[in-house]
Amino acid sequence: MSAKNPSVLDNYPDYALNIGIEVHVQLTTNSKIFCESPNEQTKDPNLCICNVCAGYPGVLPVLNKKVVDYAILAALGTNSTINPLCSFARKHYFYPDLPKGYQTTQGADPICQEGYIPIRLEDGSIKNIRLIRIHMEEDAGKNIHAQGTNESFVDLNRAGTPLLEIVSYPDIESTYEAKAYLKALHHIVTYLGICSGNMEEGAFRADTNISVRKKDSTTFGTRCELKNINSFKFIGDAIEYEIERQIDLLESGEKVHQETRLWDTNQKISKVMRSKEEAADYRYFSDPDLPLLKIDEAWIARIKEMLPELPHAKFVRFTTDIGLSPYEAEILIDNKDLADYFEKAHALTKSRHLINWILRDLMGYLKEHKLELADCKLSPELMAELINLIDKGTINNAAAKEVFEIVMQTGQSPAIIVKEKGLEQIGSTDELEAIVKQLVANNPAQVEQYKSGKDKMFGFFVGMAMKETKGKGNPQIIQELLKKYLS
């Protein structure tokens, strides 16, 4: 489809790259994972908290069933195996925004494992990125360091927000694949309706584990983890930087140290944050306050009924059944509302013009006027009506653009606008033939010039004919008639 995206790895043909990604997805349930506090973070600090999420001693967590529903949806959307029995564990660490002193998460037996996510490579082929596991856990609160003072504050609104952690195998072998994987996963969780997908607000955050090795080596190199980068572009930049940094170290005979690094978006470099803790440091153990969680076939079957068409399936259907190009399908998949818009209009017209009008005119107009699709007055039904008027030859392209602008502003029916403004195309050959004959008769000098080889004069006659019909003539018929009478 597109040319290969250049990567710094191209400069080091002896080296291979392995990337595994952990993504934290914030779930959009109404309440938090272990209490009834509202799952909202935008309110003033510490307004959405209770004794449970504030970590008071002696309180008991109660699992939010909706979180399990969402986790099952994620499992079904990523081809994962759901464990019939799973449990929660405590992961211990101290941080002021975690008053309990441990995070409630899942340990050895997560809700699901061994899934995969298909991604499209640059040559259009499909590669499955395997998932190790998906587990449920709670988010921590936030420390706020007041600017210009020595004070810090703790806001616990985020504490207890339900998260899914989705962990891939190190199957990702290029910067391009890393970005494609993240986009595919982002599409899946937003299509499933379990996550807002808002990266800037931290609703979808990726930790990227990067290691390089000599191609002939059978073991992975030492990995570094890049924490919480909040845009696909920055993740790409950071991986490119990290590939070069690690290869430089190895080439100069040094070692890569296992550590967590932060990406500095201004300086475009990664910096050490801390050396990586081993899993044992967290002293995981089974949470005695939460019972084992049993998920039976009936529960899974109930969730399966809620499963929407997934982005990959939609892409395949758009390209093979409907005949869109991969490029066109990709743009629609990227924006679920736009894909839905296309489908509603496509149910009413199978015209090839439809996708062009959506991608070119509709998208262009929305961008220019800074509008959202939801605010658009040209409904899919009206769009289909407009396209049908073009296809039937009722209006030509110039008139269609005029009608389009009016519908965008008023939401009126295109057919009514065409009638009221008298924009119907003059498609009758008799009427146009009379006009063309007249033009040829009235402009003998120009006819001579055309006949003596001045091809440009053809445009002069087309222009005159369009003017004569006040822009409503069918350009194709006019051209055919002119060819006949000028020869």
- Cβ 144 to Zn ion shortest distance, Å: 19
Contact in structure between 37 and 141 (CB atoms under 8 Å): no
Smallest separation (angstroms) from Zn ion to the CB of 58: 14
Taking the complex as a whole, the smallest distance from the CB of residue 32 to Zn ion amounts, in Å, to 5
The residue number whose beta carbon is nearest to Zn ion equals: 37
Binding Zn ion (rule: CB under 5 A), the pick from 17, 25, 33, 53 is 53
Task: Closer to Zn ion by CB, 99 or 326: give it.
Answer: 99
In the chain, what is the straight-line distance between the N-terminal and C-terminal CA atoms, in Å?
44
Strands of 102-105's sheet in order across: 102-105, 89-92, 285-286
- Kindly tell me which of 53 and 293 has the beta carbon lying closer to Zn ion: 53
Considering the complex, state which of residue 33 and residue 358 has its C-beta at the smaller distance from Zn ion. 33
Task: Kindly determine how many residues on this chain lie close enough to bind Zn ion according to the rule CB under 5 A.
Answer: 5
Taking CB under 5 A as the criterion, which residues in 22-41 touch Zn ion? 35, 37
Residue with tokens 């935008």: 42
3-state helix, strand, coil in the chain (%, to 5): 40, 20, 40
**Binding region for Zn ion (CB under 5 A) out of 46-54, 310-318, 352-360, 370-378:** 46-54
Altogether, the residues listed in the chain come to a count of: 487
E strand spans, 101-253: 102-105, 112-120, 126-138, 142-145, 152-155, 162-168, 204-214, 224-229
Residue 52 beta carbon to Zn ion: minimum distance, rounded to whole angstroms: 5
Query: x/- string (CB under 5 A) for Zn ion, residues 343-382?
Result: ----------------------------------------
For Zn ion, the closer CB: 45 or 475:
45
By beta-carbon proximity to Zn ion, the closer residue of 54 and 68 is 54
Q: Using the rule CB under 5 A, is 50 a contact of Zn ion?
A: yes
Shortest spacing between CB 139 and Zn ion, in angstroms:
12
47 is an interface residue for Zn ion by CB under 5 A: no
Beta bridge partners, 115, equal: 131
Q: Which residue has the tokens 């140290």?
A: 257
Residue span binding Zn ion (CB under 5 A) among the ranges 44-52, 192-200, 233-241, 383-391: 44-52
Element (H, E) at 420: helix 414-421
- Span interacting with Zn ion, options 43-51, 71-79, 279-287, 454-462, rule CB under 5 A: 43-51
Q: How far is CA 471 from the centre of its chain?
A: 41
Distances 360 to 121, 331, 367, 368 between C-alpha atoms, Å? 26, 12, 11, 12
3-class state of residue 270 by DSSP: strand
120 phi and psi angles, rounded to 5 deg? -95, 125
Q: Which position has the token pair 């007249």? A: 438
Q: Report in angstroms how near the CB of residue 326 gets to Zn ion at its nearest.
A: 46
- Comparing CB distances to Zn ion, the nearer of 16 and 98 is 98
The three-state secondary structure class of 206 is strand
Query: d(Cα 465, Cα 474) in Å, to the nearest integer?
Result: 10
Residue 48 beta carbon to Zn ion: minimum distance, rounded to whole angstroms: 7
Please select the residue that binds Zn ion; options are 52, 185, 256, 406, rule is CB under 5 A: 52
The minimum distance between CB 103 and Zn ion, in angstroms, equals 15
Asked if 300 touches Zn ion (CB under 5 A), the answer is no
Nearest in space to 133 (alpha carbons), one of 89, 92, 95: 89
Applying CB under 5 A, the residues found at the interface with Zn ion are: 35, 37, 50, 52-53
